[in-house]
Amino acid sequence: MATLFAAPAAATGRTHSAERGETVAKCVALGLYAAWVIWIGLHHEGWFDEMQAWLLARDNGLGALLGHYVRYEGTPGLWHLMLWVAIRAGLPFAAIWTISAACAIGGAAVIVWRAPFPLPLRLGLLATYFYGYQFSVVARGYSLDLLLLPIAASLFASRVERPLRYALVVGLLANVNAFSFLAGGLMGLELLVRLIAARRWLRADALVALALAGALGLFALWSAWQPADNGFLAQTSRVKPAAGAFIYIANALFDRVTPWSSAHQTGVDVVAGIALSLVLLTLIVRLVWAGRDRALSLALLAMLIGFATVVFASSWHAGVLFTFIVFVLWTQWDNPVDAPTRRWLIGALALLEVVQGIQTLHSGIEDLAGDYSAGRPAAAALMAWRAAHPGQTIAAFGGQSFEVQPWLPTNVFANYHKGAPHPQFVVWTTREAWHALPNPREWGQLLATHPDAVLAARVWLPKPVQADLAGQACRAGYDVARVFPAAMPWRGIPEDNSLFLLVRATSGACVR
């Protein structure tokens, strides 16, 4: 076991056959990883977040996209810019996953060939949940972290001698998402301090690097500056700060100790996962403390956790923390920590890779077996119903109902922008009456307007309606015409993403 997890040997003394065997192992692992991501991606159905970014990029000019609409998404616009270019190059919505998969495979190649970890740990990282499924298959801007952070880590040691390459990557990181923007700012500031300390900051390459990083950072700040009428946060519920911090850390590392289970985490399972996560985080802090870059490394981790706790984060955002933990481990791996700490750290990382690897496998199988999104079949049903009932109204309830929009020629929902054909994406202004994240009482308010049909996302329906949809719909004067089952696996746990098509009852069997 000690030999298996020994640090990579120096070139001197290594046999040619050993190097060739390691190269073969790397190529095989990367090939299997790419095949897995592509296989799952080919069967993946894009959901609301993927749809929203796609439609924003498809339906807007570049100026309106980056100068106006991206601000309401709470993120800089690099991902939207990439989609804008890809759409105009002819990439269809069904293939949006190819962009995230390419980022993940590129980042995996950098890890396999450049990371300082023992080879088994490097290969095991490819199986972890955010590399193996969540950020590689589900096409969102977070996939860019999978590529940019390994590149930044590989350039970290030479950032003072060759600052331009590192500054470019840091500047791009700042344009990925809100978490990476803050982290990129810290990394850029640290580069400036290092260059000043080395008395190199007045060199031409350093000045260009700092100017580039600063310009990209300012562009990210400009594109992500929040408008006063952004209504997204008003539609969300918050977790208490202390609980939010622990949940955020656990979702990045060990969310539970029963990774094979499809049941939601509860009780001892969650507490044990949090405890394991804190143990691993403590070991990482001990490694960091033994080196000279402790200020940057600890500030990155503290800032990400603090932002998630105080401002906003969902469980999915924890993947950003995971990628930055890999960055910190990579850049601090050679710190002179004591042998027991290093052994425990290697063991904890190996356990993490096994646990998350199970969740990756489970989630991929769930994605293959069912529909991640019901948007495409629901869109076909809406078009057929509308053709058979010209002039009648269709209403939408819940954000996932908008998953039909990429498959429709225009907006068909009468309760969104008064049925105007455009926009098809969600507008998050406080002036927008339609809520993608509705509260339960809005269901009754919608039915009181008596639409002829309703496409409803089950997850947003009031609990009594979820428990007895047919009965509740009947009492409101509606029949459940179609059910479109779908589920989004989160670490192997299926999260309901089903849609229901309700139509007004005409037989008299249902009484209001």
**Sequence ranges of the domains in the chain:** 157-226, 375-504
Q: What is the mean pLDDT of residues 46-61?
A: 97
Residue 245 confidence (pLDDT): 87
Give the rounded distance of the alpha carbon of 382 from its chain centre. Answer: 29
Output the CA–CA distances (angstroms, integers) from residue 506 to 338, 384, 388, in the order listed.
Answer: 76, 18, 15
Region 360-368: what's the mean pLDDT? 96
Nearest to 99 by CA among 41, 30, 55: 41
CA pair distance 334, 293, nearest whole angstrom: 12
Over residues 44-73, mean pLDDT: 96
Helices and strands (DSSP H and E) totals, the chain = 20, 6
SS (H, E, C) 273-336: HHHHHHHHHHHHHHHHHCCCCHHHHHHHHHHHHHHHHHCCCCHHHHHHHHHHHHHHHHHHCCCC
d(CA 357, CA 363): 10
pLDDT of residue 17: 84
pLDDT for res 238: 59
What are the Cα distances from residue 467, in Å, to 207, 443, 458?
A: 63, 15, 10
**Assessment of whether the complete model's pTM goes beyond 0.85:** yes
Q: Is the pLDDT score of 310 beyond 50? A: yes
Interacting residues of 41 by C-beta distance below 8 A, sequence separation 6+: 97, 98, 100, 101, 136, 137
Give the mean pLDDT of 17-31: 92
Percent of the chain with pLDDT over 90: 82
Lowest mean pLDDT among 39-48, 311-320, 357-366: 311-320
Angle at Cα 295 formed by Cα 250 and Cα 319, nearest 5°? 25
Per residue in 118-176, pLDDT tens? 999 999 999 999 999 999 999 999 999 999 999 999 999 999 999 999 999 999 999 99
Higher-confidence position of 381 and 5:
381
Residue 294 predicted with pLDDT over 90: yes
232 secondary structure, DSSP code? T
pLDDT digits (tens, 9 = 90+) for 317-326: 999 999 999 9
- Where is 84: in which H helix or E strand? helix 78-88
The residue that leads in pLDDT, 506 or 403, is: 403
Confidence band for 354, pLDDT divided at 50, 70 and 90: very high
Nearest-angstrom CA–CA distance, 36 and 226 = 38
d(CA 347, CA 373): 37
CB 328 within 8 A of CB 284: yes
149-158 pLDDT per residue, tens: 999 999 999 9
Residues paired with 493 in a beta bridge: 490
DSSP state of 480: E
- Neighbouring CB atoms inside 10 A of 512's CB total 10
Residue type (1 letter), 27: C
Average pLDDT over residues 83-108: 97
Beta bridge partners, 210, equal none
Report pLDDT digits (tens) over 265-277. Answer: 778 888 999 999 9
